[in-house]
Amino acid sequence: IGMVMKGELLVGILGSLDSGNKLYSRVVCAGETFLIPRGLMHFQFNVGKTEAYMVVSFNRQNPGIVFVPLMLFGSNPPIPTPVLTKALRVEAGVVELLKSKFAGGS
């Protein structure tokens, strides 16, 4: 659960494949709360003209984090380029460019 303390955030949640991979999103303003269901991919993006701050609470002390781009393009050893080109439906050059941005896993 999160509460926006200052600013405006676009909060988005991606539904599962069973839901048609639907994006649910809305702008959350200062004083409003939002809930991210456990295990769903989500994002927050500042859409206001000022800095945005939020306070969040997790369901456990160490909820973990999955940074998808780093996992896909910065893994060690790397995921083979042909696997990513097929999965992401892009050319090998795009995959190699993205891998170069995340090389070293940091």
Contacts of 39 (CB under 8 A, 6+ apart): none
The total of structural domains in the chain comes to: 2
Question: Per the domain annotation, does 48 fall within a domain?
Answer: yes
Domain span at residue 90? Answer: 68-102
Q: Are residues 47 and 81 in the same domain?
A: no
For 46, phi then psi, to 5°, come to: -70, 115
User: Could you read off the pLDDT tens digit of each residue along the chain, which spans 106 residues?
Assistant: 899 999 999 999 988 777 777 889 999 999 999 998 888 888 999 999 999 999 998 887 877 777 888 888 998 888 999 999 999 999 999 999 999 998 875 5
Q: Are residues 52 and 73 in the same domain?
A: no
Tell me if 74 is assigned to a ligand binding site.
no
pLDDT at 46: 97
Token pair listed for 104: 């070293």
Q: Are residues 28 and 73 in the same domain?
A: no
Q: Are residues 73 and 98 in the same domain?
A: yes
Chain mean position to CA 19? 18
pTM of the model: 0.70
Question: Per the domain annotation, does 95 fall within a domain?
Answer: yes
